[in-house]
Amino acid sequence: MAATPSVESAARGAKNPSALQFLKSGPKKLLIGGKWVPAKSGKTFETLNPANEEVLALVAEGDKADVDEAVRNARKAFEEGKWSTMGPHQRTRFLLKIADLIDQHADELAELETLDNGKSISESRNMDIPGAAETFRYYAGWATKIYGETNPSDPGMFSYTLREPIGVCGQIIPWNFPLMMASWKIAPALACGNVVILKPAEQTPLTALRLGELILEAGLPESVVQIITGFGPGAGSSIAEHPDIDKVAFTGSTEVGKLILKASAGNLKHVSLELGGKSPNIIFPDADVQAATFGSMLGIFMNQGQVCCAGSRVFVQESMYDQFTDSLSKMAQGLTVGNPLDPNTRMGPLVSKEQHDRVLGYLKAGKEEGANAKVGGAAGNQERGYFVQPTVFTGVKNSMKIAREEIFGPVASAIPFKDENDAVFQGNDTTYGLAAAVWTRDISRAHKVARALKAGTVWINTYGMVDPVASFGGYKQSGFGRELGKHSLELYTQIKQVYTKL
Ligand code: NAP
Ligand code: MG
């Protein structure tokens, strides 16, 4: 049995009384059947503050037995129709209530997110938490706008479609945007009338659990949202395999995405996968170079580079390569790395020791393959915590390991290109296709290149913009299915055709 964590020490620097109270209120439990319960096995695991490597909380380690019970509850809740047949206006009100509760607890949630994940408090406050609230608010609007169709038919027939919920949805999310990912999954599923079982990432379970409390406070019917913390093999795989789960939505690594797809074959679940990326960020000499430098910096160093759509391959036209990489490196060097609770900090630690080791392994591999770490290239010099220096590699070839594999850390690989064709060719020369960007003042080139890039999102003269109103998802091995916008409705509804003989 693990020792009781010292919240005062692990969460030092945190100020929000409710966040501290949440941490101090004992081991975190599973949300099953409208109640907080320990795992049936009685097991717990630790969630750490990656800035000081201390234990923030003990969390219930759910596994197959807990998933089984949650699925039974979910099935009952769905079939009874307390949520799926609730009037759409009422569903809207519930989702708006959740959005409001997130806003009301924004400061608390931001501190919990930063403590658990290591991201800077300015990012938690300005992006993650408001982004989660906006996602619930956006889908609240859709609950009243899900239409079927009336089909053309002979006078003796009446033919129409109903767009119905899929049923019990298992949702497995990563650690990089914990609350935001929870909202991308839960909000559209609920708007469409489904019930959900969410498995947060083991590294960052806290804000999802706090969201569970807020969802109870909002008064949703029992078992419409259940939350099972635990590990991938165990809680996650039991969801992916479960014969009575109708749909699984997954965000995470391509490797695990393939396992999810295989596991779903048992009962032919609906599957949507949002996986990794190695996104090309292409800078032409006719761009607003200052804006491109700043955008490229944000594109790779935001959230310590732990972003699936990070601009990790920075393609720069040869004539400006040295100058551009100089400026990008200077900007990287100027980033304040340190205590993520400090509002002036721009980069906190990586999420875990595992991720830290992984990223350091890539830094080593880059140097071994002959790339030059123009800035960074090593762990941070902080005494504790999983810090990595913002790194810009120059002299990178698109064939190198650091240009092919998702590093998921603050590491830019700058690659030169000759001309437009070469930029597009190299940009598309990857197994991934999540996102891409192009920087140019030539409007024709911008749109030509946007069309030619094989990616689910393309940014022109900006990087990283994501809005609940617009779709998000991948080409190639970055996954399939589109989340956000009206496209998420496709993921969480199915169509029923009705023929009537008049
Ligand atoms: P991961 O293993 O793909 O984790 C994502 C989620 O899947 C977590 O909730 C995880 O649970 C769960 N999971 C793991 N194995 C599973 C299984 N066999 N069946 C069902 N669910 C399972 O990602 P990671 O290990 O945290 O990170 C590894 C790499 O993945 C990163 O370095 C990065 O390259 C990539 N990644 C991509 C994204 C993205 O948004 N595209 C996000 C995160 C990571 P546990 O947390 O308990 O393992
Ligand atoms: Mg943690």
The reported pLDDT for the residue numbered 1 is 47
Q: Are 287 and 441 in contact (CB under 8 A)?
A: yes
Ligand 1 site, residue 271, Cβ cutoff 6 A: no
Which contiguous run of DSSP H or E holds residue 93?
helix 88-104
**Token reading at 53:** 């490597």
Q: Is residue 20 lining ligand 1, measured as CB closer than 6 Å?
A: no
Alpha helices in 150-236 (DSSP H): 178-191, 206-218
Q: Which residues are catalytic?
A: 274, 308
CATH of 280-467, one of 3.30.70.1530, 3.60.9.10, 3.40.50.12780, 3.40.309.10: 3.40.309.10
| 157-165/168-172 β-pairing | unpaired
**Beta-strand pair 457-460/435-439:** parallel
Q: Give the distance (Å) from ligand 1 centre to CA of residue 231.
A: 10
Phi and psi, residue 275, nearest 5°: -115, -155
pLDDT digits (tens, 9 = 90+) for 366-400: 999 999 999 999 999 999 999 999 999 999 999 99
* H or E stretch at 417: strand 411-417
Q: Are strands 372-375 and 54-60 parallel, antiparallel or unpaired?
A: unpaired
- How do beta strands 479-480 and 270-274 pair? antiparallel
pLDDT of residue 269: 98
> What string of DSSP letters covers 300-358?
HHGGGG--TT---EEEEEGGGHHHHHHHHHHHHHTS-BS-TTSTT-SB---S-HHHHHH
SS3 267: coil
Closest atom of ligand 1 to CA, residue 277: 41
Residue located nearest, by CA, to atom 10 of ligand 1:
232
- Expressed in angstroms and rounded, the spacing between residue 129 Cα and the centre of ligand 1 is 21
Q: Tell me what pLDDT residue 5 has.
A: 79
Ligand 1 pocket member 362 (CB < 6 A): no
Q: Which ligand is nearest to the CA of 355?
A: 1
Q: How far is the CA of 175 from the centre of ligand 1 (A)?
A: 8
166, 146 Cβ separation under 8 angstroms: no
- In 3D space, the residue among 340, 380, 387, 350 whose CA is nearest the CA of residue 120 turns out to be 340
Q: Residue 200: which of 163, 230, 170, 223 has the closest Cα?
A: 230
Q: Whose CA is closest to 311, among 282, 332, 333, 286?
A: 282
The answer to whether the CB of 215 falls within 8 A of the CB of 226 is no
Determine the distance separating the centroid of ligand 1 and the alpha carbon of 186, expressed in angstroms.
18
Protein residue whose Cα sits closest to atom 19 of ligand 1:
237
Q: Whose CA is nearest to atom 11 of ligand 1?
A: 232
- Give the CA dihedral 183, 188, 193, 194, nearest 10 degrees: -60
Residue 13: C-alpha distances to residues 18, 43, 304, 340 (Å): 14, 29, 20, 10
Ligand 1 atom 44: the closest Cα is on which residue? 252
* Nearest ligand 1 atom, CA 200: 9
Position 316 scores a pLDDT of 99
Q: What is the pLDDT of residues 178-237, one digit of tens each?
A: 999 999 999 999 999 999 999 999 999 999 999 999 999 999 999 999 999 999 999 999
Tokens 């699925």 -> residue: 71
Residue spans of the domains in the chain: they are: 7-275+479-497, 280-467
Regarding the domain delimited by 7-275+479-497, which CATH topology (the fold level of the hierarchy) does it fall under? Aldehyde Dehydrogenase; Chain A, domain 1 (3.40.605)
**How far, in Å, CA of 175 to CA of 487, rounded?**
24
Q: Does residue 308's CB lie within 6 angstroms of at least one atom of ligand 1? A: yes
Q: Give the nearest ligand 1 atom to 256 CA.
A: 3
Largest CA distance in the chain: 79
Q: How many CA atoms lie within 13 A of 294 on its CB side?
A: 5
Task: Per residue of the chain (502 residues), give pLDDT as tens.
Answer: 456 779 999 999 999 999 999 999 999 999 999 999 999 999 999 999 999 999 999 999 999 999 999 999 999 999 999 999 999 999 999 999 999 999 999 999 999 999 999 999 999 999 999 999 999 999 999 999 999 999 999 999 999 999 999 999 999 999 999 999 999 999 999 999 999 999 999 999 999 999 999 999 999 999 999 999 999 999 999 999 999 999 999 999 999 999 999 999 999 999 999 999 999 999 999 999 999 999 999 999 999 999 999 999 999 999 999 999 999 999 999 999 999 999 999 999 999 999 999 999 999 999 999 999 999 999 999 999 999 999 999 999 999 999 999 999 999 999 999 999 999 999 999 999 999 999 999 999 999 999 999 999 999 999 999 999 999 999 999 999 999 999 999 999 999 999 999 9
How distant, in Å, are the alpha carbons of 36, 95, 367 from that of 47?
18, 29, 33
Q: Which residue has the least CA distance to atom 42 on ligand 1?
A: 252
204 lines ligand 1 (CB under 6 A): no
For residue 436, report the distance from its CA to the centre of ligand 2, in Å: 30
**Alpha carbon distance 181, 33 (integer Å):** 22
Rounded Cα distance, 359 and 377, in Å: 10
Q: Is residue 195 a contact partner of residue 77, using CB atoms and an 8 Å limit?
A: yes
Pocket lining: 198 vs ligand 1, CB cutoff 6 Å: no
Q: Per DSSP, what are the bridge partners of residue 58?
A: 46
Neighbours of ion ligand 2 (CB under 5 A): 47-48, 116, 203
Question: Measured in angstroms, how far is the CA atom of residue 131 from the centroid of ligand 1?
Answer: 21
Q: How far apart are CA 305 and CA 143, in angstroms?
A: 34
Choice from 256, 302, 355, 360 to test ligand 1 binding pocket (greatest atom count within 8 A of CB):
256
CB of 264 sitting under 6 A from ligand 1? no
Is the distance from the beta carbon of residue 276 to the nearest atom of ligand 1 less than 6 Å?
yes
Check if 47 has its Cβ closer than 6 Å to any atom of ligand 1: no
Distance CA 56, CA 11 (A): 7
The CB of 116 under 6 Å from ligand 1? The reply is no
Shortest-distance atom of ligand 1 to CA 275: 41
Is residue 53 classed exposed, middle or buried when 0-12, 13-18 and 19+ CB atoms within 10 A define those classes? middle
Give the distance, in angstroms, between the CA of residue 237 and the centroid of all CA atoms in the same chain: 19
